[in-house]
Amino acid sequence: MVIIVVGGGKVGYYLTKTLNEHGHEVRLIETEAERGRQIADELDFPIICGDGTRIDILESAGIREADALISVTGRDENNLIACQLAKTMFGVRRTVARVNNPKNVSIMKELGVDIPISTTDNIARLIEREVDLSSVKQLLSLNRGEASLSEFELPSNFKKDGIKISELKLPDESIIISISRDGKMIIPRGYTQLQKGDKIIAMCENRSLHDFAKALGVDK
């Protein structure tokens, strides 16, 4: 997944590093050239130097092929503008804005930001759930939001069709609870085979949700 991050401060650095480690193609836009060079040296990939509220800078970052834009600068107005440009001019599927003033959350939503968020520690987890795992339906939040009961639907082009559950390398912090197939419920065993069209109910820690989807082969 191609993700553009606007803002190379502590939050932007953390996001870029985390999402890159998870296998996403991340492009960071940073206004300060020196800060950009520092991040490029540490993370070993190119940084776009410029203002993320400018169309030409967004285009140079490859906005036209991006799946998501996350703006995490220290100014709410800049985050709003970057998200609005991404959504309205380039049709980016998901936009996320850091909200430094919690009072601006409702305004951000009204003005078209898909996910305004004021708790910056949760941005990486949320972007993966809302964008990369858009086919996953969360049924129930557990343990104060640390885990969830979720439904995964295996697509018609499921590449691992026929694989046994015992052959999957699922995260330790996850378990498949049930499988729904042709209107019937299956209690899974190690020898149970997964088939395209199956609806899987699983319990998983949110921090392992991406790895769970990757093991199934349903991540983007």
CB neighbour class for 51 (10 Å; exposed up to 12, middle 13-18, buried from 19) = middle
Highest averaged pLDDT of the listed ranges 102-116, 145-159, 189-203: 189-203
* φ and ψ at residue 71, rounded to 5 degrees: -110, 120
40 pLDDT band (50/70/90 cuts)? Answer: confident
Which range has the worst mean pLDDT, 68-82, 118-132, 195-209? 118-132
- Residue 51, pLDDT > 50, answer yes
pLDDT surpassing 80 at residue 118: no
CATH 3.40.50.720 assigned to 2-132: yes
Q: So what's the pLDDT on residue 178?
A: 94
Superfamily of domain 137-216: Regulator of K+ conductance, C-terminal domain (3.30.70.1450)
Rounded to the nearest 5 percent, the helix, strand and coil shares of the chain are: 40, 25, 35
Arithmetic mean of pLDDT, 92-108: 88
Strand 2-6 vs strand 115-117: parallel, antiparallel, or unpaired? unpaired
Place 78 in a pLDDT band, splitting at 50, 70 and 90: very high
What does pLDDT average to over the chain?
86
| Domain boundary assignment for the chain | 2-132, 137-216
**125 pLDDT exceeds 60?**
no
